[in-house]
Each structure stands twice: as C-alpha cells, then as structure tokens.
Amino acid sequence: MPHGSQDVFRFPLAPSGPMTYETSGTAGLSPTPPTVRPAAGGHRLRWNKVPEVTAYFWVIKVLCTTVGETAADLLNEKLGLGLTGVSLLMSVLLVAALAVQFRTSAYRPGVYWLSVALISVVGTLISDNLTDNLGVPLTTSSTVFGLALAVVFAVWFRRERTLSIHSIDTVSREAYYWLAVLFTFALGTAAGDLLAERMDLGYWVSAVLFALAITAVAVARFALGLNAVLSFWIAYVLTRPLGASAGDYLSQPTGDGGLGFGTVVTSVLFLAVIFGLVVFLMVTRRDVAETEREVAASVV
C-alpha cells in the first residue's frame, strides 16, 4: 500500500493504558499504524469513529452540505424563531447528537451522519448570523473561519502528531475532528456565498468552479502524489460550498438565479436520499474497515 495513504486499515485502541505511536517521515501527517497494547480487564477495544473514505462518504457528505444550506433557510423562514432562535435550537440538537456520538465505541452510520447533517446546519447558521445579524463582511468571516480552522489543525497535530481521519480513535482526537468539521462548514458557507452572491458569479457557476477545484485536488493526489491527509481536508472544505451552491441553485427562485424548487422540496429530496444511503451502509457495512468487519464476524 502506498506510503501516506488515507486508505490504511483502522486499528483498535484500548480506552485506557499507554500506547506507542510512531510518526512517518512525511512531515508526520501520515503515521504508521499504532502499536496497540492488549486491553486490560476485558475492556472492549475502541475502534476508529469515522467511516472509510469511499464514494459513499463523498456523496453523503455533499448531500449533507446541501441540506445544511437549504434546511437552514427553511427553518429560518418557516419556524418564525428568527435566525438566532433557529441557531440555538439546532445547536442544542447538535450537542445531543454529538453526546451520543462520543459515547459510541465505534463508527455507527446513523449517529455519525446525523451529527454531520446537524453540524452542517449549525455551521451555515454561524456564518449567516455573522453576515445577516452582525453585518460582518463575507471576506472577513471567510478569513476568520480559515484562520480558526488552521489553528485547530495546528493544535490537533501538535498534540496528536497526526491529522489522519483513520486515527480518530481517542476522545481528544474525536473532539479535534468535530471542531475542524464545524469550521469547514462555516468556512465553506462564507466562501460559497462570497463567490455566488457578493462576486455575483451565480449559484451554477460557483458550483462548477468548486467542482473543478475538487477535480484539481484529485488530480494532484493521484497523479502528482499530493499528501493524502492534506488532499482529504482540502476536498472536505471545498465540498461544502459545492453542496451549498447546488442547494441554492435548486431552491432559490428563478428570478434570483435558481430553479425555484423551494427549500422544502429540496431539503426533503436530499434528506430522503441521505436516509436511504445511510440505511444501506448500516446493513452492508460497506464503509467499515475490513479488519473491523472481520473482528465483528469472528465475535458472532
């Protein structure tokens, strides 16, 4: 397997007891598999808490970003709570979902993707609150979110010596992971709105530009050998404005450059597809590492 790949097997981690990590020579971004000591006292081993990076991962992620954009608009318009009220409500739901996510001992598709969907809505609302309620320019908010994300990555790497999503196997790493995800959604929302609205490029053109940027990252990864961890997080950030631009293009009125499907139809449609794919993954476990499937099968 190529050195530095994100597609390494996941390894179990004992919740307690020391563990030795060895970092690789590529700036430490892609560590070699950790040396795991046997779990003491019969405690269950803790597996990686996020899915394998497959086509299903990227499809559901983009769909969640689209829902994050359209659902935020829908809730703001229909509930009558105002942007602040909706933000507080969705933040409470997100905290509840993440509490369940942190209590799981391994990746669970339903809990994980519910958390992603909710964090996409909250990330969108954070950006919208800064723009609409506080009058913060999109250039400023994009810069601030970008810097905040960089700080999270810097602290995460300094403390854990890896940013690989195949190493989300401790509470601290999971906390860094979800904080980074939150800022990617907020940054993607601000950057997407900046291009589509402030620069007047329109939703369709913005979606195409972000799709081309993601394609360029894929080419750099597979043809030029760009570091797997770096390319993953760049693509993760770019899929947010891609999904948001697509959602706005479908939901916004034709007079504003959209197709006029509305936030209700767009949100329900994408939520239905997300639900179907997550149920499929829960049954087939297609996005679970092979080693974990083998262990689960051996237990049964």
Digit-coded pLDDT (tens) for 13-61: 333 333 333 333 333 333 334 434 343 333 334 688 999 999 999 999 9
Cα–Cα distance measured from residue 9 to residue 268, given in angstroms and rounded to the nearest whole number: 35
Q: Are 150 and 215 in contact (CB under 8 A)?
A: no
Query: Does residue 177 surpass a pLDDT of 90?
Result: yes
Instruction: Check residues 84 and 300 and name the one with the higher pLDDT.
Output: 84
Record the tokens describing residue 77, joined without a space.
């318009």
Closest CA to 160 of 8, 13, 291: 13
What tens digit of pLDDT does each residue of 139-156 get? 999 999 999 999 999 999
Record the tokens describing residue 241, joined without a space.
């404005």
Residue 230 CB contacts under 8 Å (≥ 6 apart), including other chains: 29
What tens digit of pLDDT does each residue of 74-130 get? 777 777 777 888 889 899 999 999 999 999 989 999 999 999 999 998 998 899 899
Mean pLDDT score, 59-72: 84
Cα–Cα distance measured from residue 30 to residue 169, given in angstroms and rounded to the nearest whole number: 15
The reported pLDDT for the residue numbered 193 is: 83
The reported pLDDT for the residue numbered 191 is: 85
What tens digit of pLDDT does each residue of 267-283 get? 888 899 999 999 999 99
Phi, psi of 33 (to 5 degrees): -55, 140
Instruction: Check residues 124 and 176 and name the one with the higher pLDDT.
Output: 176
Task: Give the CA distances from residue 61 to residues 166, 246, 259, 292, in Å, rounded to whole numbers and listed in that order.
Answer: 17, 13, 22, 22
- What single DSSP character describes residue 5? -
| Global confidence as pTM | 0.79
Percent of the chain with pLDDT over 90: 46
Cα–Cα distance measured from residue 179 to residue 1, given in angstroms and rounded to the nearest whole number: 30
Give me the helices (H) in the chain, please: 55-78, 82-103, 109-128, 138-160, 171-193, 203-222, 228-251, 262-284, 290-299
Helix axes 55-78, 109-128, angle to 10 degrees: 50
Residue 282 CB contacts under 8 Å (≥ 6 apart), including other chains: 109, 110
